[in-house]
Every structure is written in structure tokens, then in C-alpha cells.
Structure 1
Amino acid sequence: MKINIMAVGKIKEDYINAGIKEFLKRLKPYTEVNVIEVDDERIPPNASGAQIEKVKEKEGERLLKNVPKNSYVIVLDVKGKPMTSEGLAKSIQNLQLQGYSNITFIIGGALGLSQKVLDTGDYILSFSHMTFTHQMIRLILLEQLYRAFKIIKGEPYHK
């Protein structure tokens, strides 16, 4: 199984980068993880609704052109469906059984995702009704993927 994490923007905070590196290292025995960052679009000050949509569309185009063919696409969005850690593990197992060898997670930028990106997703996932920074959600996603693979393998970590 190959996991792709497509995200808008670069991580600037050292503490988040340290956590991301740690979970990427922990995931190596279980799966290949590729993190693909696309440039974020400059947000005009006092942006209008139309300008906000234009930013999301441009970022969305950058994301979608990097999605591997035949990949199962999970889009992270606050309006998506929640899932437990056990549910994520089961979903990964089911996707493997269905013949998927690639799962792509898409994380939007500061303004979220365009409707086109949301429509492209095979599943829209929400980690919480709360809003997190797009940088922080990358770390949370990696931790949940690590937890999911530990659950799949029946190894201690998940409580």
C-alpha cells in the first residue's frame, strides 16, 4: 500500500516538522508515504468571496494534477464524515482487499478546498467538527495512519 498526502503550502513550524518526520519514520515498516506539497496562493487582503473561490480553485488545480491515477482519494474537510481510528484501519484494509494499491489524502490550504476537489474525492473525511490549521492536520493525519497500521497488524500502540 502506498499513501500519498497532497497538501497546500509548506510547514514552517519546527515542532510540526519534527512530529511529521517522526511519524514518517515510524510508518516506514508498514507503508510507503509520499508527501506532496503544492504552492499556496497569495490571499488578497480583505478578499471578496469571488477572490477566495479563485484562490481555492487555483490551489485545487495544483492538487488534482498530482493525484496518481487509480488512487482512492480521501479529501479532508470539516464537513466530511467522521471516522474512528479503528474505522480508518478497517477502511485501509478494505481498500487493499478491493485491489487499491494507492490511497491519496488531500489537505487544503488556509481557505479550504474548491468544490471541484471535494467532488473528486471518493470519501470526504472529517477529523473533527473543530477547525485545525492545515499544517497541524498533516501531523494528525500521519499519527492516525500510524495508529491504523498498528491496529491492522495487531501491535500495541492503540488504546
Structure 2
Amino acid sequence: MHYWLFKTEPDEFSIDDLKAKNDEIWDGIRNYQARNFLRDQVALGDLVFIYHSSCKQPGIVGIAKVIKTAFADPSQFDAQSKYFDAKATPDNPRWISVTLEFVEKLRIIPLTKLKADQQLADMHLVQKGSRLSIQPVRESEWQYILDKYTSNSLK
């Protein structure tokens, strides 16, 4: 199993939206490195920290599980979508989606706390200039965050 951090802007799609729907396609990823993670590494059953970004208090807000892997992001073919890509075709899709299932909402773990924690100094999220929307999380980082910052049952 692998562990991930997926960023989302809560005014677009929040942990509460995922909880209400229970599962949802994770679409709109338009970065090649993030796409490659989705296509080549994200696997069925992987666990994901949901991270709210571009908001008043960015941070980890929940956990989801991957229930469907690597398929063509349908938004790339929809001319009405802001994620439309005229170069993508069904035979040659450029962008990938996965489906996530809600696991648990967490009390926010603010980015400021994560950055201040020396045990997490090597985590991708806290690195200067780290803006990638899909990031791997080491198992040791995942466990440490759960142990220190949550009462989560997945420990």
C-alpha cells in the first residue's frame, strides 16, 4: 500500500463534499508529474490525506481511500468543462483520474503545525516551493501524523 496527499480547494470540492457523496472521481489534475503519479503509482486501496489548500487555514482535513484507479479523466473531453483539453481524445487521453471513497474527516492539521514539526522536515508538503497537487507520503510520515495529530482508527 502507498500513501498520498491530494490537495483540493475547499470552495471547489471539500472533505465535506466527499463525505456527502461518499465517493467521487478525482478529476481536473493538469500537472504532468501529478498525472504520472495517478497513472503509474496510485493503486487500489491506497490511503490519501485530503488537504485543503488556497484557503484561510490550509491543512490536512481528512482521509480517503482509492477505490478505482487510473482511467481517462472525463472532464478533458467535455468542451463545457474548465478542464477541457482539445488535444485529448478517447483513444489518446492526456489526463488521468481516480475515484476516492470517504474514510474519515479529521480535525484540521494546519500546515503551520506540519512545517514546525521536525519529524516531518523531509515531507514533500513542507518543502519550499512544494505546490504539487498529488504527493506521495512516506509510510513513516503517515503513521507519525496519525499518531501525533489524530485519534484515527487506521493507526
Quick check: TM above 0.5?
no
Range of TM-score over shorter length:
under 0.3
The structure richer in helix per residue is 1
**Alignment TM-score, normalising by the size of structure 2:** 0.27
Greater RCO (CA < 8 Å, at least 6 residues apart)? 1
The structure richer in strand per residue is 2
